[in-house]
Amino acid sequence: MKANEKRIAQMKCSQVLKSFQKGQAPVTPFLLRGAPGTTKALSFMKAGNFYPVINTTLWMDSHLDVHLNGIWDRSIDQNAGKLFYVESHELSPSKVIAWPENVKAFTRTLPWADLGRNLEGETQALIFEIPEEKIENETARKVVESRRNVENSVRMQYVKLRLAINDADEDWKENKATWDEVYPQIANKEMADEYGYFWAVDEAKIFKEGSMVLAGSNEATPILYNTEEPGKATSSKGPATSTPFDVSEAIHKLKFNL
C-alpha cells in the first residue's frame, strides 16, 4: 500500500461515492445505545424546519476513511443553492424531497450525544435545513410527519486525502505524523487499532445531493426534528430520558465481518 500510495489516492479521488454504500464499520453494543439526554434544544433550529444530518466527521468507516473537520467547507460555498435532498440517491424528479432553493447546507460541531451516540467527544456534522412545507415527495413527507427514525447519506467525491500508518519506520514518518494527528480524534479507535492504518480525508466535494436512506455510512446521521416550541428541538433518535438497553436488539443489529 505504501509503495502505491499516490496511485491509490488518485484512484479514490476519481470516484463519485454514495456514502451509505461505503458500509458501516463494525460496531459494539455500547454504540447502539442512545445516550441519556440526547434530546435537547439545539440553538440553530427554527420552527417549521427539519434538519437531516447528512454526514459526520471523525468516524472510521468500512472503507477505512476518516472524514476530518472542515472537509465540506469549500464545497458548501461552491454549491450554495445547488444541492438537492432526495430519496436513496435517486436523481429523478419523482425522488426529489426538496429542491435546491429550499435546501440550506451548513456544518455544526456537536457532541456525539446530541446525535444519539453514546460516545465522548464531538463531531462536525454536515446538516441540511429544509422547511417542512417545502417537502415534495409524499413518502418523505410521511416519514417527517411521523418523525420516523431514518438516516442520511451524502453523494461525494474525494479531493484531498492522506494515508495514516501506525509505524515508526523512518520511511513512513509522514504517514505516522498523520496517524498521530488524527487518531486521538477518532470516535471508534478500536477499528483503527485493528487495521493499523486509515485514509484521512481533508477535503471532499458534495456531488449534487444528500439523501434520506434507511442506513447511512454510520448511525450518527439522523434527522433532527423541531417538535417543540420555537427554539427547541428533538432528535429522531428517541426521547430525552434513558431507555433500558435491549441486548438482543443490539446483537440483532450487529454486522459481523467473517
Q: In what order do the strands lie in the sheet with 104-111?
A: 104-111, 122-131, 49-56, 223-225, 234-235
CA distance 154 to 217: 9
231 has a pLDDT exceeding 60 = no
> Computed from CA positions of residues 162, 55, 135, 43, in that sequence, does the dihedral angle turn out positive or negative?
negative
* Least confident residue range of 135-139, 156-160, 200-204, 212-216: 212-216
Model pLDDT for residues 60-94, shown as the tens digit of each residue: 987 899 999 999 999 999 999 999 999 999 999 99
- pLDDT of amino acid 27: 43
Model pLDDT for residues 114-168, shown as the tens digit of each residue: 988 888 899 999 999 999 999 999 999 999 999 988 999 999 999 999 999 999 9
In single-letter form, the type of residue at position 142 comes to K
22 has a pLDDT exceeding 80 = no
- pLDDT of amino acid 91: 93
- Beta strands at 197-213 and 104-111: parallel, antiparallel or unpaired: unpaired
246 has a pLDDT exceeding 50 = no
CA distance 226 to 201: 32
CA distance 246 to 242: 12
Torsion of CA 74, 77, 78, 79, to 10 degrees: 120
Average pLDDT of the chain is 81
Torsion of CA 117, 163, 15, 91, to 10 degrees: 20
Cβ neighbors of 193 (< 8 A, separation 6 or more) are: none
What value does the mean pLDDT take over residues 2-25? 67
**Complete DSSP assignment for 126-183:** EEEEEEGGG---HHHHHHHHTT---EEEEEEEEEEEEEEE----GGGHHHHHHHHHHG
pTM (two decimals)? 0.78
CA distance 34 to 240: 9
**Percentage of the chain surpassing pLDDT 70?**
76
